[in-house]
Amino acid sequence: MIAARGICIAIGYILGLFQTGYIYGKMHNVDIRQHGSGNAGATNTLRTLGWKAGLITFVGDIGKAMLSMLAAWLLFHGKYPESVKLLEMYAGFGAVLGHNFPFYLKFKGGKGIACTAGFILAFYPPMAPLCLFLFLGVVAITRYVSLGSILVMICYFIELVVFGQLGYLGVEQELLLELYVVGALFSLMGIWRHRENIKRLLSGTENKFSTGK
**Residue 190 one-letter amino acid:** G
How many domains is the chain built from?
1
Residue 211 in this model has a pLDDT that exceeds 60 = no
Residue (of 187, 14, 38) closest to 98 by Cα position: 14
Tens-digit pLDDT profile for residues 43-66: 888 888 888 988 999 999 999 999
At 213 the pLDDT is: 46
Residue 111 lies in a domain: yes
- Where in the sequence is the domain holding 112, given as residue range(s)? 2-203
Tell whether the model's pLDDT for residue 212 goes beyond 60. no
Average pLDDT over residues 20-28: 88
Q: What is the mean pLDDT of residues 17-41?
A: 85
CB-based contact 53:21 (threshold 8 Å): yes
- The angle subtended at Cα 119 by Cα 99 and Cα 27, nearest 5°, is 40
Would you say 13 and 101 are in contact if contact means Cβ atoms under 8 Å apart?
A: no
Q: What is the pLDDT of residues 174-197, one digit of tens each?
A: 999 999 999 999 999 999 999 999
State the amino acid at position 201 in one-letter form. Answer: L
Question: Is residue 186 situated within a structural domain?
Answer: yes
Residue 104 lies in a domain: yes
Q: pLDDT digit string (tens) for 131-159?
A: 999 999 999 999 999 999 999 999 999 99
Q: Against a cut of 0.75, is the pTM above it?
A: yes
pLDDT tens sequence across 98-138? 999 999 988 988 899 999 999 999 999 999 999 999 999 99
The residue type of 184 is: A
124 in a structural domain: yes
Q: Is 207 exposed, middle or buried (0-12, 13-18, 19+ CB in 10 A)?
A: middle
Please tell me the distance from the alpha carbon of residue 127 to that of residue 155, in angstroms, as a whole number.
Answer: 9
Q: What is the pLDDT, as a whole number, of residue 210? A: 67
- Rounded to whole angstroms, how far apart are CA atoms 203 and 213? 26
Residue 187 lies in a domain: yes
